[in-house]
Structure 1
Amino acid sequence: MKRVKIKAKGRVFEGVALPSDDNKLVLKLDSGYNAGFYDYEILEEKEVEMHEFVPQRFESRENLGTIKVISTGGTIASKVDYKTGAVTSQFSAEEIVADIPELLEIANIDAELLYNILSENMKPDYWVKLARRVHEAVRDGYDGVVVTHGTDTMHYSASALAFMLRTPVPVVFVGAQRSSDRPSSDAAMNMICSAHTALSDLGEVTIVMHGTTADEFCYIHRGVKARKNHTSRRDAFESVNYSPLGKVFPDGRIDWIAERFRRNERELELYDKFEEKVALIKYYPGLGPEILEFFHDRGYRGFVIEGTGLGHVSTDWVETVKRIAEDSVIVMTSQCLWGRVCDRVYDTGRYLLRAGVIEGEDMLPETALIKLMWLLGNFDVEDAKMLVKENIVGEINPMLGYEDLTI
């Protein structure tokens, strides 16, 4: 392989030359992206060694911690099917680890494949099975657990495990925006950063993904405060209404940013019941309250509404809400994502509160959905109504700033 410095389009580019057509130069840039050039001037080139290392087995070393890697599929465990151009889930957990030999310098790795699905196929009963398997791994003495997962619904799964599992060690969800066999894949750095996080002074469920579009660092996001906010960028995940817990660099350095649950701060516990009949309803102008009645008639007793602004729906909803709230839990969140729900500012919000709506504070709608599914799986309706506003695993930021109420 050659490392090449070129001048093209009035700029200087440098990277490793990749195999390509005779009349085209493709460089693997230091940022992790590829760039192709037809018209360029070579300024400098030199040979570099490229080592291919695929271990046949993972040998344990006493001076390293031990991490359980549980694969559920997703893009991080996918390859491109060049016949169709589609990305399909194909890698096993062992293949993911073997493809990133740097992991074996960080920890002893024990890998297993639990599911091999794309994340849109994740279901609540899969969350339960995953939580039980992670619980077993922590009980068996692993220093940390890494769960590879598709990015599209990873924040749902991370929230589910955060409520089901009180963990004394790090449980790290990690994914990739680009499949592992693409030259611009973010899988390797995300996995390396997740392994460092899994050995850190942390005791909660997190998501670790690229912090910028380049290969600089990853953010450690609290599982119940993170969301995928871009379809394809490598830094698609953001912490909402709470800062990331920290930055983790590929060399293992971690800069902690926010308060977190520490390693061994909590005892290992599992609460693995879920009520699937909970609906997340996005309000839009003209949507009638009949949608509540539709779900309620089918046995649903939990509702999370993505309201407008501070947490509103049309006044046409008030009477229906009042009737359904008698035997159900109705939680109001906001489509705005950032900020806090406050239904005491405008008349509509006050009517909704009197009708039985419960403010979702600054919870993400998806987190509120998962929390309500968990609450109704483990408590009756009246207890769930009281607990939904309690900050259980860091899903509600207790700090209320003036900017949260500014309108």
Structure 2
Amino acid sequence: MADYKEGDMVRVSSKGREYSGIVMPSRSDKIVLKMKSGYNAGLSLDGADVTVVERSPQPPKPARKAHPHNPGLPNISILSTGGTIASRVDYRTGAVSSQFTADDILDAIPELGDMANFNGRVLSMIFSEDMDASVWQNLARACHEEIKNGADGIIVTHGTDTLSYTAAALSFMVRSPVPIVLVGAQRSSDRPSSDNAMNMICATAVSTSDIAGVTVVMHGETSDDFCYVHRGTKVRKLHTSMRTAFQSVNVPPIARVDYATRKITPITGYVKRGEQELKLMGDMETKCALVKFYPGMSPEIIDYYREKSFKGLVLEGTGLGHVSTKWLPAIEKAVSAGITIVMTSQCINGRICDRVYSTGIDLLKAGAIEGEDMLPEVALVKLMWALGQTNDMAQVKRIMQHDYAGEIHWRSTV
């Protein structure tokens, strides 16, 4: 077996076939090659023979540009967690490099230097699917600390796949008098269609604006004209790869940001800079789960979570918030055991109303809580947060049915 490393050109002989390509990073026990076709191949090393054809050249490190502090500009803190916006693939070597420091970002997007002074902190460098409550809590503490130390705004760079979960978590954990803006990219900076520069410029414009609290800033249309500013508790990724994947659900966006002029045009009302005092409420209960109901699904799943001593469940029911009538005894038993159960809907738009049909009425009698017009993932994060504040079930119910961060709108307009 050859001693190879990322970026080397190798030839792999396995099961009578040969594969040639550049060694890519791998998170498994397989070797991953980028082949001439442009596609990646993951190959088992069991019984394989690897020959190094060409060693990866070591490119010289580029000279670091100076980014002097401008006392006339606002001070923005960039908190990096990883994701596509902070990565670049070098197709010559096959290696992935992360551009996450403030200087890296300014080098890549020099226009930012005319908008603000930046201070960068790397909190994690993980795929967004590896996010969990501990990362959210660390991020919330970092936001609180940066604002206490005088930051005029916060930008959080994040992978897009679970960005909306983190936005919701920060919305509940940090009451902020300044903007906290989450931003990502659907396509890495090495691609001609990358959205990272435009998203970052628009996010910076929002971070220096009067829009306080937690928002998500992403592409507003397929062309490079504007970004939308979404409320952190009302946004979802609705497409796997399009640059316009993020959309506000059940409400319009807060504002739009013109890319060319950086002008922000409000669409709906919002909390303004300085209108609320800084407060950190970072405790979360991790023994909560989100359960999506489907026809014929066994109620044993509820029994499983009860037996595992979970504290809260969010059910993603059908329509107005329904599950099979066969689930009613299991739900009632779980509630009696001290588990808070919140009902949400699989429908994208609309709200829960369990007082229309008999099934819904029976669910309320069993102890389920209506999740109003909250997205299921937002309801899950909020329930984790609510149970982190109190273990009193009556108080948790009051929290879940109270609007804390724009997650509940009492009048559906969309």
- What TM-score comes out, normalization by structure 1 length? 0.83
Q: Which amino acid aligns with 1:375?
A: A
| Separation in 2, partners of 1:310, 1:81 | 49
Pick aligned residue for 1:128 from 124, 137, 153: 137
Report how many aligned residue pairs link the two structures: 349
**Post-superposition shift, 1:183?**
1.3
Q: Hey, what does 2:181 align to over in structure 1?
A: 172
Q: Hey, what does 2:371 align to over in structure 1?
A: 360
Pick aligned residue for 1:321 from 310, 315, 331: 331
| Separation in 1, partners of 2:63, 2:113 | 11
* Aligned 1:86-235 pairs, distance under 5 A: 88=96, 90-94=98-102, 95-235=104-244
**Post-superposition shift, 1:113?**
1.5
Pick aligned residue for 2:251 from 242, 251, 254: 242
Q: Which amino acid aligns with 1:271?
A: M
| Separation in 1, partners of 2:362, 2:96 | 49
What do the CA deviations read for 1:31-68 (whole angstroms, capped 9, x no partner)? Answer: xxxxxxxxxxxxxxxxxxxxxx9862321112211111
Q: Hey, what does 2:398 align to over in structure 1?
A: 386
- Cα 1:214–1:55, aligned 2, differ >3 Å: closer, same or farther? farther
What do the CA deviations read for 1:304-330 (whole angstroms, capped 9, x no partner)? Answer: 011001100000001111111121110
| Separation in 1, partners of 2:66, 2:147 | 22
Structure 1: gaps of 5 or more residues: 1-52
Q: Hey, what does 1:395 align to over in structure 2?
A: 407
| Separation in 2, partners of 1:355, 1:228 | 33
| Separation in 2, partners of 1:89, 1:373 | 34
| Separation in 1, partners of 2:192, 2:389 | 46
Q: Any conservation in 2 of the 1:54–1:99 contact (CA below 8 Å)? A: no
| Separation in 1, partners of 2:183, 2:359 | 41
Q: Which amino acid aligns with 1:139?
A: K
Q: Any conservation in 2 of the 1:89–1:118 contact (CA below 8 Å)? A: no
What do the CA deviations read for 1:208-230 (whole angstroms, capped 9, x no partner)? Answer: 00000110100000000000000
* Aligned 1:311-350 pairs, distance under 5 A: 311-326=321-336, 327-350=338-361
Pick aligned residue for 2:301 from 288, 291, 294: 291
- Cα 1:55–1:387, aligned 2, differ >3 Å: closer, same or farther? same
| Separation in 1, partners of 2:202, 2:145 | 23
- Cα 1:319–1:141, aligned 2, differ >3 Å: closer, same or farther? same
| Separation in 2, partners of 1:282, 1:127 | 23
| Separation in 2, partners of 1:325, 1:264 | 41
For the aligned residue pairs, the C-alpha RMSD in angstroms reads: 1.7
- Cα 1:322–1:336, aligned 2, differ >3 Å: closer, same or farther? same
**Post-superposition shift, 1:107?**
0.6
Q: Any conservation in 2 of the 1:248–1:255 contact (CA below 8 Å)? A: yes
Instruction: Check if 1:267 corresponds to 2:277.
Output: yes
Q: Which amino acid aligns with 2:312?
A: G
What do the CA deviations read for 1:85-109 (whole angstroms, capped 9, x no partner)? Answer: 7x95622223223200000011111
Q: Which amino acid aligns with 2:266?
A: W
- What TM-score comes out, normalization by structure 2 length? 0.82
Q: Hey, what does 2:3 align to over in structure 1?
A: none
| Separation in 2, partners of 1:345, 1:213 | 40
| Separation in 1, partners of 2:165, 2:148 | 24
Pick aligned residue for 2:314 from 290, 304, 310: 304
Q: Hey, what does 1:65 align to over in structure 2?
A: 74
Q: Any conservation in 2 of the 1:248–1:254 contact (CA below 8 Å)? A: yes
Spell out structure 1 runs of 4+ moving beyond 3 A: 81-85
Matched-pair identity in %: 50
| Separation in 2, partners of 1:88, 1:221 | 30
| Separation in 2, partners of 1:81, 1:350 | 58
Structure 2: gaps of 5 or more residues: 1-61
| Separation in 2, partners of 1:145, 1:196 | 11
Q: Which amino acid aligns with 2:326?
A: D
**Post-superposition shift, 1:242?**
1.1
Q: Which amino acid aligns with 1:394?
A: G
Task: Look up the SS of the partner of 1:73 in the other structure.
Answer: coil
Task: Look up the SS of the partner of 2:118 in the other structure.
Answer: strand
| Separation in 2, partners of 1:63, 1:134 | 23
**Post-superposition shift, 1:351?**
0.7
- Cα 1:54–1:194, aligned 2, differ >3 Å: closer, same or farther? farther
* Aligned 1:29-40 pairs, distance under 5 A: none
